[in-house]
Amino acid sequence: MDNKTFAMITDFGFDFSVASMKALILKNFPDAQIVDIDHSIKQFSILSGSFVIDKIYNYFPDKTIFICVVDPGVGSKREPICLDTGNYIFIGPNNGLFHYILKNPDLSCKAYVIKEEFGFTRSTTFHGRDLFTPAAIEIANGNFNIVEMIDRDKLVSIPVLDGGTPVITYIDGFGNIKTNIPLSDDFNKKEFLKVSVNNVLHLIKISKTFSDVTSGELLCYRGSNDTLEIAANLASAGNILKVNVGDYITIE
């Protein structure tokens, strides 16, 4: 049996929900590699989930199956879907979670809906364990009979991102703020940046490292994902600026 690689993104936090999904995989593939990408996605934040998926997937080996569950509409009419890029497979709800994958011009996705008759029916509130993980197992076994092609026009995107609106996409455990604003290589040649968050203007120093500013002082920089990030040295920028994922942000 070839080793299988599965990767998980949820907003479940640290509880036994994630363990139950892993247990199902290991019962079928004892030698599987299971990577916990992030279970601390802000609860119900499809925006943050889509950002993390986009920034992490291409570091994984080919044929990785991603089980992605940020699903505030669990049990509702939204379709459970599977996207196949040829190199990777993504399984999760059709709610915008795969926005960046679908909009990437370098990816040619085949889109499928998981058939209604498939999956356990024990719950309508835990599709991570009872639908998406079993679907991932079947597909890892080469069984695509559980899915059927879906019209790509039915695939949901995130309206605010469709319009190109600059927003806060993620706030990590340190309170560092990540955005969807791309930055060029010469960004660090400037000294300060005017940043407006929720209609409040801030003049923030541009730095390469956190220690370039004093303790508690804000800084901004080109993050590891090549987008604008805002942090504070030894403090939480999220708390200082009193912001949340989805808040609008503009720069001058």
- Cα separation, 39 vs 45, whole angstroms: 12
pLDDT in tens, 143-169: 999 999 999 889 999 999 998 899 999
Q: Are residues 137 and 180 in the same domain?
A: no
Q: Are residues 79 and 199 in the same domain?
A: no
Q: Are residues 35 and 149 in the same domain?
A: yes
Q: Are residues 63 and 90 in the same domain?
A: yes
pLDDT higher than 60, residue 140 = yes
Q: Are residues 81 and 206 in the same domain?
A: no
- Cα separation, 250 vs 87, whole angstroms: 35
Mean of pLDDT values over 11-31? 96
**108 or 56, which is more confident?**
56
Mean of pLDDT values over 8-21? 96
Q: Are residues 10 and 132 in the same domain?
A: yes
Last residue of a domain, one of 159, 180, 203: 159
Q: Residue 148's pLDDT is what?
A: 96
Angle 95-96-100 from CA coordinates, rounded to 5°: 155
Please state the domain count of the chain.
2
Q: Are the CB atoms for 171 and 177 separated by under 8 Å?
A: yes
Q: Are residues 131 and 185 in the same domain?
A: no
Residue 230 belongs to domain with CATH number: 2.40.30.90
Q: Are residues 230 and 244 in the same domain?
A: yes
Q: Are residues 106 and 221 in the same domain?
A: no
| DSSP H or E segment with residue 38 | strand 33-38
- In sequence order, which residues have a C-beta less than 8 Å from that of residue 249 and are 6 or more positions away? 166, 167, 168, 179, 181, 195, 196, 197, 228, 243
Mean of pLDDT values over 238-242? 96
Mean of pLDDT values over 37-44? 96
Q: Residue 164's pLDDT is what?
A: 86
Percentage, residues of the chain above pLDDT 70:
98
121 confidence band (pLDDT: 50, 70, 90): low
Average pLDDT, the chain: 93
Q: Are residues 181 and 221 in the same domain?
A: yes
Q: Residue 64's pLDDT is what?
A: 98
- Cα separation, 103 vs 157, whole angstroms: 9
Last residue of a domain, one of 159, 180, 198: 159
Residue 107 belongs to domain with CATH number: 3.40.50.10790
Q: Are residues 52 and 155 in the same domain?
A: yes
- Cα separation, 171 vs 249, whole angstroms: 14
Q: Are residues 195 and 79 in the same domain?
A: no
For residue 108, give its domain range. 5-159
Q: Are the CB atoms for 101 and 114 separated by under 8 Å?
A: no
Last residue of a domain, one of 111, 127, 159: 159
